[in-house]
Structure 1
Amino acid sequence: MRGDTTPASAGKRFVLPSSFIGSPRYMIENYQDAMAICRWAGYPDLFITFTCNAKWPKIELFLSRKPGQKIEDRPDVVARVFKIKLDQLLNDLKHGRHFGRVIAVVYTVEFQKRGLPHAHILLFLHSDDKHPTAAKIDKIILAEIPDLNKEPLAYDAVKQYMVHGPCESINSRASCMIENKCVKHFPKKFCFQTTVDNDGFPIYRRRDNGIYVERNGVKLDNRYIVPHNIDLLVKFQAHINVEWCNCSRSIKYLFKYITKGPDRATLILEENLHVDASTGMQNMTDTDEVKRYLNCRYMSAIEACWRIFEFEIHYRQPAVQRLRGRLDF
């Protein structure tokens, strides 16, 4: 280029290396590791979301030791208890045979706006346990309300943790409503039996059997129930969403979802060139990834404690050995 528009400096770029937890390169490496496991183990079979319950007895026990103490006053306790529960859940998944033989596990821990942690878990099953029939899916994943008279514990757990809404026309101001539609696509349709569509996505059984739960004075039937495994739900007393996901179309979405990093939002309008007042020359604006990360990052107190305790944010088993072929820039 010629003329006064020629930059006197090409500018500098400050980057966050992959060794910095939470940086873009860190997320990319974890995504690539997860894809490496996928190449070895095949498509993931189950997508599980496990959310911390602020009313777990262990958390309430610690809070009760000091009158008036709230959950936000002890983020260290919440982080430790959730880690214990998460380890117990992983042990059950790998050895409890709830879903079959598990040969690989990948999970990512995230933190909600109010700080409570939740884990997104991908399970890879043995080849003998892949591609189950609709009848087998019904044995491990339910989307119906248990009978109160026959299974009171299961009924209470589903009522407390696995009911979506009310939303749609019943409550148009629900947080899941965008442009007068539920982003989670509730209420679902009644379905007499579980089926698997042409794309490999399951349509869970939701029978119109007259069983309902009442929330905020509204009767909600099976159309509002989030898929779950009843044994895990009763044991852990927390929101545990279980979805069957063995299909090629979902693979990259699932892996990118669990390694997408924290929510962030910022808006800056600035020129790419700036004029040096002393020389009158135009220089390129430096690109500083460190500054950008700090400006956009949202971190709750519980996440800070999680990092201080050096708990894993990304977990994978079996381990992946990275082969370095170039510098990490």
Structure 2
Amino acid sequence: MKKKKRTVSYAKWGYIFILPFFITYFIFSLIPLADTVRYSFYEYYRSGIKEIGPNFVGMANYASLLKSDMLQYGANTLILWIIGFIPQIVIALVLACWFTDARLKIRGKQFFKVVIYLPNLIMASAFAMLFFALFSTSGPVNSILMSIGLIHTPIDFMGSVFGTRSLIGFMNFLMWFGNTTIMLIAAVNGISVEIFEACDLDGCNSIQRFLYITLPMIRPILAYTLITSIIGGLQMFDVPQILTNGQGNPDRSSMTLIMFLNNHLKSKNYGMAGALSVYLFIISAILCFIVYRMTNDSDPDGSKKAAKKAAREERRRRK
């Protein structure tokens, strides 16, 4: 009789090695997530030294939030995100195309990449404190503008809606455009050089090269950038919190959804905080799904559309 060969299965070791991650995720993410959803259906808050609840109230917390200023704070969050994201993606795309264009022969690319990425390493709190000092009424920016005669009285940047929102958007742009630029540079470098050479031989100019070659080829990375930016925008907290001292001034025009959530947590209103967290989760999921569907084409070469069109024509011909 032939002896059976002993086979060693290494598959189980993969599960053993990833087990710590799943245990950590279950304890620190999944259980708190389920607990947050559970709290959203309960009345649970503190009034003075007295603790109310938890009392089951069903969808009352969700209805109360819709009647509150949540929609206004959602609009604030959207406006602040747009102010920061649009310049970020435009500048990042321009820099990515510039640094990856072999025809330009730019020297010191690595140095410029490091300089571009450096603001991403600075803490948001440090950025907010720096801008608060720079743009205050007695700060260096007003002093310089007055000394060169452009203004006669200090500008209260943080006393106007436009000024405060612009500063927050500018800070978000500075902190994240470097990270976006590096990702887009990697995406453009992943495109075959032969495609660009064929494009040049066909006589395409720079705009056509960007619109018809670069942009479609880096669409997956653009989708990733947009989705992570939307999630980050909905979680915007530290910059407006520090710049406005948690008040969202002027007239709560810079109050974001996470700042609103933080106010509920500070007042120990866990039921409303849980309901607002669920709203944020649902909004994030919907927006990310829409972006994913818009930026990912399941039929990039149009073969499926052509096949469907041919089938329709064949049916019409038979009739």
On whether the aligned pair clears a TM of 0.5, the verdict is: no
Larger helix proportion of the pair: 2
TM-score (norm 2): 0.25
TM-score (norm 1): 0.25
Structure with bigger gyration radius: 2
